[in-house]
Chains A and B, each alone.
Chain A
Amino acid sequence: MRRRLLLLAAAAALGGVAFSGDRFWLQFLAKAMIGSILAMSLDLLVGFTGLVSLAHSAFFGLAAYLLAGLTNRFDLVNPVVTLPLCVAFAAACALVIGWLSLRATGVYFIMVTLAFTQMLFYLFNDSPALGGSDGLYVKARPIEGRAAAYVAIWAAVVLVYLLLSRLLRAPYGRVLEGIRGNDQRMRSLGYPTRRYKLVAFVIAGALAGLAGYLDATLYGFVNPAQLGWRQSGLILVTVLLGGRGTLYGPALGALLLAFIEHYGERVTDHWNALIAALVIAVVLFLPRGLAGLVQGAPRA
């Protein structure tokens, strides 16, 4: 399939960069790939289950903050220990927030996830003990060295893609598709849909936590702005830009947005307006995103 070759080529190219030793590209692409993990995991919710969640960045931030706490307070750095802990923590938070949020449906759900993400933002922003608005430095990083971090992130992207693809082809994935199409009908067919949605929420949250962990590893720094609704909004933008419900689309959308953000900053002071214009244009004129251009016919 042409698409598979395209993705393989992209993965290989990204992997190859690890050997280049180029400081800028290693840092830049590593950051972009973290965005891909966030985008793919959010696509699971938005594109495949039909749940628009604004809480995604919260799980990203929670895992990152936990890593900071573990290394700074307990001198716990070893990735074998800290990685599962941080991801599990993000998953647990997603379980609680998801269970509460899914009691609401439709737009209520969106607004509840928004409120929770803001609550967490304020919690971290207003507490001096948690670093306040300045954030925290991560004393020691689980993975030292730019190239090593890059490879780890690259491996994570590939694994997340493979994992989610698998999941979506399995019976569980079919259920999500059905829920997105007609939740009420799924219930009358015998599926307790809220349970399945909660599982999706937890998986997405765990993967967002993985991204947060890797981000903190890469930069050695965590701050509250990573948790706000604006960040969540940007992740949604990458999903829409790339093409929701395709998995690879959002992954590429994240890469694209990273490029636009980076070069936009150089071109104009008002690059936020540029992003705004892009978002509005995509919503109005390219609702199926880039993947829609690639695929042509509507997804069956």
Chain B
Amino acid sequence: MPEALLQTGALTRRFGALAAVDGVSLAFAEGRVHAVIGPNGAGKSTFLNLLSGELRATGGLIHFRGADVTRATPDRLSRMGVGRTYQTANLFPELSCGDCVWLAAQSRLPSSMLFFRPAERYAQVGVRAARALEWCGLAERGRAIAGQLSYGEQRQLEIAMMLATEPSLLLLDEPLAGLGHDEALRIVELLRKVARGRTVVLVEHDMDAVFSISDSVTVLVDGRVLATGSPSEIRASPAVREAYLGEEIP
């Protein structure tokens, strides 16, 4: 049975009296795609933010590769191999695509406290960046300014930036949000490609995508785990259907 790469133990995040994430204990096996779904306000994004270190847990634990990372800062987690994309485009709006991905790739140098040689001379960074751009279908758009890209292209750039950091754990926050049908299909294919050999935690509303690429699905409701299982198990579960009452169910 594959090792759990990432594990949470009774993970909790309170905002005043509200528990956005309430005692969530999950194990994410290595090399698998794990989807986290749930109705609006279920705490999915909060959960992801806890995993990426951008939000501090108010209770519980997070273990990554066996190490306790509950208090780890986002930059430390990134260096440990955790990458993420964001729900709304989180780029460097004034920089070109190439420069955005370059920065992501450069982060893998042992240190960027390098003051004398021009950045371009660090060939391995350029190779990583170019590769990430190519994987995401943006090889031709290197010079385009990030802030001026179309919405779909910005999503591609988000993924390219994440890939350039060569993560082993991918945290994806609604990568398909706001995409038209064809664009969404393209991104799903990209994600399928990207997921090979990596561990993915995918928060999504698009059920078709979720069920087509996920190995396991967890349903969150009101910050708590309602059910975890294979896609077919979740699909068939009456409790899940009830939770989604009124919402779009597959």
Instruction: Please give the residue numbers on chain A whose beta carbons come within 8 Å of chain B beta carbons, in ascending order.
Output: 166-167, 169-175, 177-178, 181-182, 184-193, 196, 199, 298-300
Contact at A171–B119, with CB atoms within 8 Å?
yes
Q: A187-B74, A191-B107 are in contact. Are A167 and B115 (CB under 8 A)?
A: yes
Residue B165 CB within 8 A of the other chain: yes
Besides the known contacts A174-B103, A181-B92, A189-B78, 18 further A-B residue pairs in the complex with CB atoms under 8 A apart: A170-B114, A171-B112, A172-B114, A173-B119, A174-B119, A175-B106, A175-B112, A177-B95, A181-B94, A188-B84, A189-B75, A189-B107, A190-B79, A190-B107, A190-B165, A191-B75, A192-B73, A300-B96
Contact at B74–A188, with CB atoms within 8 Å?
yes
A171 to B76 Cα, complex, angstroms = 19
Contact at A190–B78, with CB atoms within 8 Å?
yes
Contact at A191–B112, with CB atoms within 8 Å?
yes
Contact at B109–A192, with CB atoms within 8 Å?
no
A55 to B131 Cα, complex, angstroms = 43
**Could you tell me the distance in whole angstroms from the C-beta of B84 to the nearest C-beta in chain A?**
6
Main secondary structure of the interface of A (DSSP, over half): helix
A182 to B108 Cα, complex, angstroms = 18
Interface residues on B, range: 35 or more
A185 to B99 Cα, complex, angstroms = 14
Q: Mind listing 27 A-B residue pairs with CB under 8 Å? A: A170-B114, A170-B117, A170-B118, A171-B119, A172-B114, A172-B115, A174-B99, A174-B102, A175-B106, A177-B92, A178-B95, A182-B90, A182-B91, A186-B103, A188-B54, A188-B75, A189-B75, A189-B78, A189-B104, A189-B161, A189-B165, A190-B79, A190-B107, A190-B108, A300-B94, A300-B95, A300-B96
Q: How many A-B residue pairs have CB under 8 A?
A: 94
A190 to B84 Cα, complex, angstroms = 11
Contact at B92–A185, with CB atoms within 8 Å?
yes
Contacts of B91 in A (CB 8 A): 182, 185
Q: A169-B119, A300-B96 are in contact. Are A187 and B73 (CB under 8 A)?
A: yes
Residue B245 CB within 8 A of the other chain: no
A199 to B74 Cα, complex, angstroms = 20
With CB as the reference atom, state the residue of chain B lying closest to A186.
B103
A175 to B114 Cα, complex, angstroms = 10
A290 to B125 Cα, complex, angstroms = 35
Contacts of B79 in A (CB 8 A): 190
Residue B113 CB within 8 A of the other chain: yes
Contact at B119–A192, with CB atoms within 8 Å?
no
Residue B139 CB within 8 A of the other chain: no
Q: Which of B72-88 contact A (CB under 8 A)?
A: 73-76, 78-79, 84
With CB as the reference atom, state the residue of chain B lying closest to A199.
B113
**Could you tell me the distance in whole angstroms from the C-beta of A139 to the nearest C-beta in chain B?**
37
Contact at B92–A182, with CB atoms within 8 Å?
yes
Contact at B103–A178, with CB atoms within 8 Å?
yes
